[in-house]
Structure 1
Amino acid sequence: MSDPHAQHRRKPDFILPAGGCDAHCHVFGPGAVFPYAPNRRYTPEDAPREALAALHDRLGVDRAVIVQASCHGTDNRAMLDAIAWRPHRYRGVAVVDDTFDDKAYQALDDGGVRGVRFNFVRHLGGAPDMGVFDCVIDRIKGRGWHAVLHLDAVDIVPLSGVIRRLPVPYVIDHMGRVDTRLGTQQPAFQTLLELARQENCWIKVCGSERISSFPFDAAVPFARALVEASPGRTLWGTDFPHPNLKEPVDEADLVDLVPRLAIRAEDRQRLLVDNPARLYGFAA
C-alpha cells in the first residue's frame, strides 16, 4: 500500500551494526522498464532500486537480499538490475521454473543470485507444481544455493515431511506466517521450531507487521523463540515495500523491534550480520 507520508518517516532509534543486512526486501519495476507478469495476482506500485537504496540509507542498512516477488513471475531482470547496481552490497533470490537450463542458472549465479523461491501461499496462487519443484531442487543441489519457502501457517505441518527431506539448505519466510492468536504452543509453530533445529533450516524473523499490529507485541515471543532455537541460522528483513499489506508501516519501527527479538548483543550480531554473510557470501 502506498503511504503518502513515507518521505517524512523517521530514522530508527536502534543503530544497526556495520554490515547489517536486510535479508528480505523487494524491487518492483519500474513497470515501464521491467513489466509485471501477465498472470500476476496483484499489481504493485513501482518501487525501483532507488527507493530501496533510499530506505536503507535512512535505516542504516549496509547489505540486502532482494527477493523476487510473484508479481514479476520468472522474469528476474528488475532484481538482477538492482544487484548489478550495487554488486558488493546486494544478493538475490530468484523465481525459476523447469524451462531454465544450465546457462540460465549460471547467468543468475553470475548476477548475484544465491537461492530460488517457491510460493505456497494461497492468495498468491497456492502450491507450485511439485514436478517443477523437484526439478528445480535437483538443478540447484550442486550450486551451493538454497530454497526459500513462502508458506501459509496451515501448511507447515502437512508440508513438514517434504521440507525435512530437502537435500539443500532452505529458508522459511516470515516466521511461517503463524497466527499469533493461537499462541506459541500451536502445532504449526511447534513444527516450525522443530524444523529450525535442523542443520539445513534457516528462518526469517521478519513479517512481524503481517502477523501482528503495531507495536507488534504479539510477534515478539514467536521471533524470540526462533532466535533462541537457532541463533546461527535466523535472518531479519524489512519486507519493503510490503506487498499486499493492509496498513502502512514505518520500517524504522521494524528496526527498533530487533532488540526485542534478539535480546543478547551476540544474537543480534549473528541475526543481522554474520548469518546473512555466511548464507549469501558477503565479504568480511
Structure 2
Amino acid sequence: LDARGVRGVRFNFVAHLGGAPDLDVFDRVLERIERLGWHVVLHLDAQDILQYAQRIERIKVPFVIDHMGRVRAEGGLGQQPFRQLLDLMRNPLAWVKVCGSERVSAGRRPFDDAIPFAQALIEAAPDRVLWGTDWPHPNISKDMPNDGELVDLLLRFCPDQALREKLLV
C-alpha cells in the first residue's frame, strides 16, 4: 500500500456504524504506520473523545479527528467532549476536520449552530485544521445536506481568506 501512495488509515468508533474497532488491532496498526510515516483518521462520537482520551493521547503519529468529533451543538461549547477535543488540539500531532456541520448541528439548516464549534477549533489550532464537504454524505438517510450551503457555511466560520486557504489546501 505504501508503494502505491497510501499514507493513512481510518478507524471508525461510531456506535451506529459498528462501534469501536478491536483495540489490539488498532494499536498494532498504529505501530506499523508509525514506521511508514502515515497518519490515522479517527471517526468518533462525542462520548468516545472522553472514553478513549488516554489512548488518543498516546498516539505517536499525526492523527485527524473527523467531523469536529461529532459533538452535539445543543450541548454548547462548554460540554465535556468539546473541552476534551480542544485539549487534544494542544498536541502537535492532532488535526481536526471542521466538516460535518450537519452532524454537529441540532439539525436546522443552514446548521448555524455548528459555527461556534468550527471557529473555536480553528482558533485553537489554525495550522492543523482541514475542511471538506463529506460528499456524498454516506450514512445520511434524511435531509441530505446541500454542498453549496456547506461551502457558504465555511465562508461564515472562516471569513479570513488566507486562513480559509490553509483549511482547504
Which structure's residues are more often helix, by fraction? 2
Letter in 1 for 2:55: V
Q: What does 1:238-277 correspond to in 2, within 5 Å?
A: 238-245=133-140, 246-273=142-169
Q: Relative contact order (alpha carbons < 8 A, sep ≥ 6): 1 or 2 greater?
A: 1
Partner of 2:49: 156
The one-letter code sitting in structure 2 at the alignment partner of 1:215 is: P
**Is the aligned partner of 1:173 residue 2:66?**
yes
CA shift for structure 1 position 160: 0.8
Residue 230 in structure 1 maps to residue 125 in structure 2? yes
Normalization by structure 2: what TM-score? 0.94
Are 2:117 and 1:117 aligned? no
1:144 maps to a residue whose letter is: G
Give, in whole Å, the separation in 1 of the partners of 2:88 and 2:162.
23
In 2: Cα distance, 1:206 partner to 1:229 partner: 16
Alignment of 1:94-105 (within 5 A): none
Aligned length: 166
Pairwise mapping of residues 135-146 of structure 1 onto structure 2 (< 5 A)?
A: 135-146=28-39
* Offset, 1:224: 0.6
CA contact (8 A) 1:224 1:260 kept: no
What is the percentage of aligned positions where both structures have the same residue? 58
CA distance in 2 between counterparts of 1:135 and 1:120 reads 16
List runs of 5+ in structure 2 lacking aligned partners. Answer: none
Segment of structure 1 superposing worse, 263-272 or 121-130 = 263-272
Deviations 1:66-118 (A, max 9, x none): xxxxxxxxxxxxxxxxxxxxxxxxxxxxxxxxxxxxxxxxxx22333211011
Matches of 1:112 and 1:234 in 2, distance apart? 22
1:201, CA displacement in angstroms? 0.1
Unaligned runs of 5+ in 1: 1-107, 274-284
TM-score, structure 1 as length reference = 0.57
| Separation in structure 1 between the aligned mates of residue 123 and residue 94 of structure 2, nearest angstrom | 14
- 1:221 counterpart = 2:95: no
Q: 1:13-63: CA deviations, max 9, x gaps?
A: xxxxxxxxxxxxxxxxxxxxxxxxxxxxxxxxxxxxxxxxxxxxxxxxxxx
Give 1:243 shift. 1.2
Query: Are 2:112 and 2:153, in contact at CA under 8 Å, matched by a contact in 1?
Result: no
Over 6 Å off, 4+ runs: none
Structure with max Cα Rg: 1
Counterpart residue number, 1:190: 83
